[in-house]
Amino acid sequence: MFPQGDWWWLRDIINELPDGLLESRQRKLGRIQHSRDLERLGIAMIKRSENEKFMRPHLRHLLARDGAMTVFLAVLPLRRKNFAALRLGFHLRLQPDGSWRVFVPAEETKNRREIDRRLSDDLALVLNRYLAIDRPALLQRGNGQYRDADDHLWISDDGKPLTPHSITLRICEQTRQAFGKSISPHLARDCAATTVAIELPQQMWIAAPVLGDRSLSTVEDHYNQAGCIDASRRVAQTFRLVRENLKKLK
């Protein structure tokens, strides 16, 4: 705006600004939650959708859907874009033995790395329940108007595919109510990496495939917050407790 002016004083200020990495970690630190807590929250939401009295039917399905999304993000924290785009028959494939595989081709991922893995039995249990009860009910609210919703996994309350922005709003609101702080789908990735570092500090390498990242250094640079958290618990107990809660859904 004023090219004739002397702006070196502003450049000096800019040069003194931090790169943001440490500040970003400090901001995230207060919002990190153990992935086990996210799983428990999702399971509790599903149970509440079944047991709470005086809840309107479509609200029950929305609550159960949000619970399923929360469990999914805790166990398999995909990037928000890939999570929202999951489609039955392509990204989610039912195997002959009844198990599920999630497949995201390389051209759809941020780092151009294919994701192909089997869902755990616990996550498959939650997924099957959502597909049998809640997703069909939500699809019906669209009255067949939205053909593009037929194979999308996550469905909105009006029968449309749930958008990435709407997913973020729902997850943030549910976690804010539960923990007093909002945890976005992207922050769930930080939670997962930090949980691995807490529970299995000697096997931190497994965080990279969990997040679908190319290298451990990427995970540590951008996600792992465990340096400021007590690394004393073990993941075996975590999964055992989660399995016990999930069995109650059968």
Q: Which residue has the tokens 């390498």?
A: 205
Residue 203 near residue 170 (C-beta atoms within 8 A): no
Please tell me whether the overall predicted TM-score, pTM, comes out greater than 0.85 for this model. Answer: no
Indicate the average pLDDT of the chain. 80
Distance CA 99, CA 118 (A): 7
pLDDT reported for residue 246: 66
Residue 100 near residue 119 (C-beta atoms within 8 A): yes
For the chain, give the percent of residues with pLDDT over 90.
49
Looking at residues 220-248, what average pLDDT do you find?
Answer: 55
More confident residue, 206 or 44: 44
**Domains of the chain, residue spans:** 31-182+235-247
pLDDT (tens digit per residue) in 89-136: 999 999 999 999 999 999 998 888 888 889 989 999 999 999 999 999
Distance CA 139, CA 215 (A): 39
pLDDT (tens digit per residue) in 33-57: 888 999 999 999 999 999 998 899 9
More confident residue, 47 or 202: 47
CB-side exposure of 237: number of CA atoms within 13 Å? 9
Distance CA 58, CA 65 (A): 10
Angle at 95 between CA 94 and CA 100, to 5 degrees: 55
**DSSP-assigned letter for residue 56:** -
Distance CA 156, CA 159 (A): 5
pLDDT (tens digit per residue) in 212-223: 655 555 555 545
Model confidence at 231: pLDDT above 50: no
pLDDT (tens digit per residue) in 158-194: 999 999 999 999 999 999 999 999 999 989 988 887 7
CB atoms within 10 A of CB 134: 23
Q: 91-106 burial string, b = 16+ CB within 10 Å, else e?
A: bbeeeeeeebebebee
Residue partners of 181: CB distance under 8 A and separation at least 6: 30, 31, 33, 175
Task: Supply the DSSP string of 178-200, one letter for each residue.
Answer: HHSS---HHHHHHHHHHHHHHH-
Residue 230 near residue 74 (C-beta atoms within 8 A): no
pLDDT reported for residue 222: 45
Tell me the one-letter amino acid at 231. Answer: A
The second-level CATH assignment, the architecture, of 31-182+235-247 is Orthogonal Bundle (1.10)
